[in-house]
Amino acid sequence: MTVGISSPFSVLFSGPPMTRNAREALRLAGISVVRCYPRVTPDGEMRDDYRVTVDARDAESACTKVRRTVESHGAYWGFSPDVQ
């Protein structure tokens, strides 16, 4: 069995303000919140844009790991690799 080499990837996504439980779930999964950009939508709702880092085999695996970690903590969307 070959073990893939992991590298750090940045992932961007949006959603509601994160609860303490969601942040703890990220921490336990080895995902670090780098930045949170709070904003108010045109209809007055609070939404945040997040940048996190995670070790993964590739960008797709990184996005999947983050999505699976937060999906039970709220309606998050727009998971994409940060390609700066």
pLDDT tens-digit profile of 3-62?
Answer: 578 899 999 999 999 999 999 999 999 999 999 999 998 999 889 999 999 999 999 999
Query: Residue 41 has what pLDDT?
Result: 85
Between CA 84 and CA 64 the distance in angstroms is 19
Q: Which residue has the higher pLDDT, 1 or 78?
A: 78
Residue 23 is given by DSSP the state: H
Give me the domains of the chain, ranges plus CATH numbers: 7-81 (3.30.70.260)
Q: Could you write out the DSSP letters of every residue in 31-77?
A: -EEEEEEEEE-TTS-EEEEEEEEEEESSHHHHHHHHHHHHGGGS--E
Query: Residue 28 has what pLDDT?
Result: 96
Query: Residue 5 has what pLDDT?
Result: 84
pTM attached to this predicted model: 0.86
